[in-house]
């Protein structure tokens, strides 16, 4: 393994954003979260309402409740008794007032669910309402529409004027995800030399800036709108949704991840008294999570459902935890929102290049207007994805290092990062480092960003000059946790090349940024400890005898190994079956040709054995007969020297490329092996091919290239990735 010195310091990685415009389905109505009633004056009503769904004066779904409010009144709470046990929508139609225009439309609603035969629904009175002029409040059952009965027993008023409302100009409290949290992990020792590890982190997109327009879903545009006059959506046209492709989040090895939640930032020029939104995500067509296929649409999509969709399709959906949207009250001009991927949807999410997740702006109410006014547009200015990676990795021992290192946010390399020498772990070169857990403590954290890097073999394809550093690691929280577990699961191709033994092998961890929910920077965090999850080899070095051999058709040969329990896999050079090998390493020759046997130990060591199968020898009988010899005089004349009829075309000399197609492949191996079997029967096409066949590049005493199994073995090593092309010929 070739090592190199590490890069001087960790560098923060940037993540780019790309806009896409694929189809999005929007429900018609969102869910409003119910709240608990505050104390105050209580009015006894005992009025039974029938959820008949009628919009006429004969409807029994509504009643007017006489109330006496003060200017300080903030809420009114309605208490019901019912035998109904499912979702309920309580509607606040309006208020009767004692002056013109005598009536004020309110259009408020509270979505809740009956519990233990009771319903408590609290309505926040509009700040623009002249509360002292109110004579009565009209309340009704807007959903269900199945003639269920609901007894309105009491109405409670907060006459004290107490309120839990906040300054609407301040950011709303973040909605907390119910799914797995960023900065957490799990570990399970399987007891068989492997462990199952999960790591939940966040990937963030920078430079997000999209306008979302309420009421303009993609079904207003062709091809989703079947109207022949409908136009296709173009950049700049109003739309209420935006989709992000997975590539925009820059998540490596995405097939091993489960999407947990998505965080977005919504901004508005006016205070958002109410913000309603939903989301959706690509899923496998016609799977149980494909809610749009249920509606007879093209599918491939899970979407949050509105009330009308639930009423129409609810009994047809095959999942029970589909969401019905989200509502944020008093969001101000800057709202941090969360969209959770339902648990039953997660396993069906597709990971293809065109797969995406989307956010939809359903509705907004202008809190800065004295009159009821809807918000037409908002800005989507932030997007991040919290995901869980799960992998089964080699494991048999954990090494813990207590660090208690304070890291200071900033540009000072001596303060914002820590370097650990991997040689101090006491590992051997054949050992593996599968994952690393960094335990970090900090208070009031809403967002942290870190960088990690590790020394590798200089030839590692994912590394740069022997240094592997992925993109930034981001952790999100609601400010309540004080400790975070950042699990870094190394990719397979990196794991096998980590520099564990030299003085140049290092691990680095850097603190880029930290902030709380109020936008204040968190200057310091503490790296409490680092856990190294390792697989420490207990095997001897794997050797196989013979390492290369010739065998005649019909013969058998036994491979012996220095390690018990190895597996043997045969592969021919051209796809034909020239020999077989059983689980004990017994080789049987079937037909002339060449190939390899890959021998793998229980801990993953590999040795490749080259096999050449020769044809069985035949006996030739020669019959001699008498002949008459006639002697003819021969006249000898002088000749002149002519040019070599088969000169080497040095422009086409590429050692190992025997078929002269410009590439080194299994075909070249076969041509060399056939030549070794019988140069007379299988000659090379010309002198250039002969020169290229001398891949091992040795010559006899007369300066002629020697073509034998050494050349074949070297070419095999190139094809298998053991050697580089530059290892062939005189330049090796």
d(Cα 161, Cα 127) in Å, to the nearest integer?
A: 12
663 confidence band (pLDDT: 50, 70, 90): very high
User: Rounded to an integer, what distance in angstroms lies between the CA atom of residue 192 and that of residue 189?
Assistant: 8
Q: At 660, is the secondary structure helix, strand, or coil? A: coil
384 sits in which H/E element: strand 377-394
Evaluate whether 346 touches 283 at the Cβ level (below 8 Å): no
Name residue 405's beta-bridge partners.
Answer: 527
pLDDT value at residue 574: 66
Q: What pLDDT was estimated at residue 437?
A: 98
* pLDDT higher at 33 or 339: 339
Residue range 76-130, pLDDT digits in tens: 999 999 999 999 999 999 999 887 788 898 988 899 988 889 999 999 898 888 8
DSSP string, 572-617: ESSSS--EEE-TT-EEEE-SSEEEEEEEE-TT--EEEEEEEEEPPP
424-446 pLDDT, tens per residue? 999 998 899 999 999 999 999 99
Q: Across residues 46-60, what is the average pLDDT?
A: 87
Name the more confident of 37 and 380.
380
The Cα–Cα gap between 326 and 405 comes to 41
Q: Which residue would you say has higher pLDDT here, 136 or 489?
A: 489
Q: What is the mean pLDDT of residues 376-389?
A: 97
**pLDDT > 60? residue 379:** yes
Q: What is the pLDDT of residues 176-204, one digit of tens each?
A: 899 999 999 999 999 999 999 999 999 99
358 vs 171, 278, 413, 680, CA distance in Å? 23, 9, 39, 68
Residue 69: the pLDDT is 86
pLDDT score of 28: 29
Residue-level pLDDT at 11: 52
E strand spans, 232-292: 241-245, 257-282
Residue 13 banded pLDDT, cuts 50, 70, 90: very low
Q: What is the DSSP string of 506-539?
A: EEEEEEEEEE-TTS-B--EEEEEEEEEEEE---S
In whole angstroms, give the CA distance from residue 147 to residue 164. Answer: 35
Please tell me the distance from the alpha carbon of residue 724 to that of residue 728, in angstroms, as a whole number.
8
- For residue 38, pLDDT over 50 is answered with no
On the question of pLDDT at 460 being above 50, the answer is yes
* Per-residue model confidence as pLDDT tens digits over 266-281: 999 999 999 999 999 9
| Partners of residue 195 on adjacent β-strands | 189, 393
For the ranges 163-177, 383-397, 588-602, which has the lowest average pLDDT? Answer: 163-177
Among the listed residues 681, 671, 677, the one whose alpha carbon sits nearest the alpha carbon of residue 715:
671
Confidence of residue 621 (pLDDT cuts 50, 70, 90): low
Which residues touch 682 (CB under 8 Å, ≥6 apart)?
671, 674, 675
User: Average pLDDT, whole number, for the chain?
Assistant: 86
Proportion of the chain above pLDDT 70, given as a percent:
88
Q: Say if residue 415's pLDDT is above 60.
A: yes
Predicted confidence band of residue 73 (pLDDT cuts 50, 70, 90): confident
Q: How confident is the model at residue 619 (pLDDT cuts 50, 70, 90)?
A: low
pLDDT value, residue 524: 96
The closest of 341, 354, 217 to 281, measured between CA atoms, is: 341
pLDDT reading at 31 higher than 50: no
Q: What pLDDT is recorded for position 21? A: 27
Cβ distance 195 to 495 under 8 Å?
Answer: no
Residue 464 has pLDDT above 70, yes or no: yes
How confident is residue 371, by pLDDT bands cut at 50, 70 and 90?
confident
Beta-carbon contacts of 55 under 8 Å, excluding residues fewer than 6 positions away, are none
Q: Which residue has the tokens 């989709």?
A: 243
**Of 222 and 342, which is predicted with more confidence?**
342
pLDDT band at residue 336 using 50, 70 and 90 as cut-offs: very high
Tokens representing residue 31 in the block: 């869910």
Closest of 531, 533, 454, 437 to residue 494, by C-alpha: 454
The full DSSP string for 437-478 is EEEEE-SS-SEEEEEEEEEBBTT-TTSBTTEE--SPEEEE--
For residues 674-699, give the mean pLDDT.
89
Of residues 576 and 364, the one with the higher pLDDT is: 364
**What distances in angstroms separate CA 504 from CA 315, 400, 418, 580, one per listed residue?**
63, 21, 15, 44
């Amino acid at each position: 393994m070739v090592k190199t010195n590490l890069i001087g310091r960790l560098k923060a990685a940037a993540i780019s954003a790309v806009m896409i415009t694929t189809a999005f389905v929007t429900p018609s109505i969102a869910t409003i979260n119910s709240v608990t009633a505050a104390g105050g004056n209580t009015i006894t009503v005992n009025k039974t309402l029938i959820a008949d769904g009628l919009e006429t004066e004969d409807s029994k779904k509504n009643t007017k409740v006489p109330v006496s409010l003060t200017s300080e009144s903030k809420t009114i709470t309605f208490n019901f008794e019912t035998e109904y046990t499912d979702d309920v929508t309580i509607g606040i139609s309006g208020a009767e007032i004692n002056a013109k225009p005598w009536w004020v439309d309110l259009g408020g609603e509270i979505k809740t669910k009956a519990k233990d035969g009771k319903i408590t629904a609290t309505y926040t009175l509009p700040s623009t309402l002249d509360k002292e002029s109110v004579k009565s409040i009209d309340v009704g059952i807007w959903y269900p529409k199945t003639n269920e009965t609901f007894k309105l027993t009491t109405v409670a008023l907060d006459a004290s004027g107490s309120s839990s409302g906040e300054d609407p100009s301040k950011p709303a409290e973040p909605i907390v995800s119910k799914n797995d949290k960023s900065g957490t992990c799990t570990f399970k020792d399987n007891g068989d030399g492997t462990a199952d590890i999960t790591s939940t982190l966040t990937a963030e997109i920078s430079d997000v800036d999209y306008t979302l327009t309420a009421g303009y879903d993609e079904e207003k545009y062709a091809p989703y709108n079947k109207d022949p006059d409908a136009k296709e959506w173009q950049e700049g046209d109003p739309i209420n949704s935006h989709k992000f492709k997975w590539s925009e989040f820059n998540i490596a090895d995405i097939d091993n991840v489960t999407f947990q939640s998505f965080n977005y930032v919504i901004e508005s020029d006016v205070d958002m008294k109410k913000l309603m939104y939903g989301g959706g995500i690509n899923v496998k067509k016609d799977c149980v999570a494909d809610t749009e296929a249920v509606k007879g649409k093209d599918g491939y999509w899970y979407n949050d459902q509105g009330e009308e969709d639930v009423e129409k399709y609810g009994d047809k959906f095959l999942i029970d935890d589909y969401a019905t949207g989200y509502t944020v009250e008093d969001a101000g001009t800057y709202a941090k929102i969360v969209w959770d991927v339902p648990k039953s949807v997660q396993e069906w999410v597709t990971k293809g290049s065109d797969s995406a997740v989307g956010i939809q702006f359903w509705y907004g109410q202008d809190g800065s207007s004295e009159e009821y006014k809807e918000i037409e547009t908002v800005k989507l200015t932030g997007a991040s994805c919290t995901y869980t990676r799960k992998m089964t990795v080699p494991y048999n021992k954990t090494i813990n290092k207590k660090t208690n290192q304070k890291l200071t946010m900033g540009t000072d390399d001596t303060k914002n990062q820590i370097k650990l020498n991997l040689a101090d772990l006491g590992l051997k070169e054949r050992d593996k480092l599968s994952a690393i857990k960094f335990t970090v403590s900090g208070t009031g954290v809403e967002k942290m960003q870190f960088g990690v890097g590790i020394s590798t073999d200089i030839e590692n394809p994912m590394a740069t000059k022997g240094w592997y550093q992925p993109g930034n690691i981001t952790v999100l929280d609601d400010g309540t946790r004080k400790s975070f577990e950042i699990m870094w699961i190394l990719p397979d191709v990196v794991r096998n090349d980590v520099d564990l033994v030299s003085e140049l092998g290092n691990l680095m961890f850097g603190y880029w940024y930290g902030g709380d929910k109020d936008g204040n920077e968190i200057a310091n965090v503490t790296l409490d400890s680092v856990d190294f999850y390792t697989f420490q080899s207990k095997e001897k070095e794997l050797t196989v005898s013979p390492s290369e051999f010739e065998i005649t058709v019909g013969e058998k040969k036994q491979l012996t190994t220095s390690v018990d329990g190895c597996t043997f896999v045969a592969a021919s050079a051209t796809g034909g079956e020239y020999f077989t090998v059983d689980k004990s390493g017994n080789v049987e020759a079937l037909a002339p040709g060449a190939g390899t046997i890959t021998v793998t130990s229980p801990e993953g060591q590999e040795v490749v054995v080259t096999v050449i199968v020769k044809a069985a020898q035949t006996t030739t009988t020669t019959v001699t007969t008498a002949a008459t010899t006639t002697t003819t005089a021969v006249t000898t004349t002088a000749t002149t020297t002519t040019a070599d009829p088969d000169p080497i075309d040095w422009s086409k000399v590429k050692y190992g490329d025997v078929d002269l197609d410009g590439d080194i492949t299994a075909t070249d191996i076969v041509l060399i092996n056939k030549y070794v079997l019988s140069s007379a029967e299988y000659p090379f096409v010309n002198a250039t091919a002969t020169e290229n066949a001398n891949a091992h590049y040795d010559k006899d005493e007369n300066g002629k290239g020697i073509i034998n199994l050494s050349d074949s073995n070297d070419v095999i090593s190139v094809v298998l990735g053991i050697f580089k092309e530059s290892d062939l010929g005189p330049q090796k």
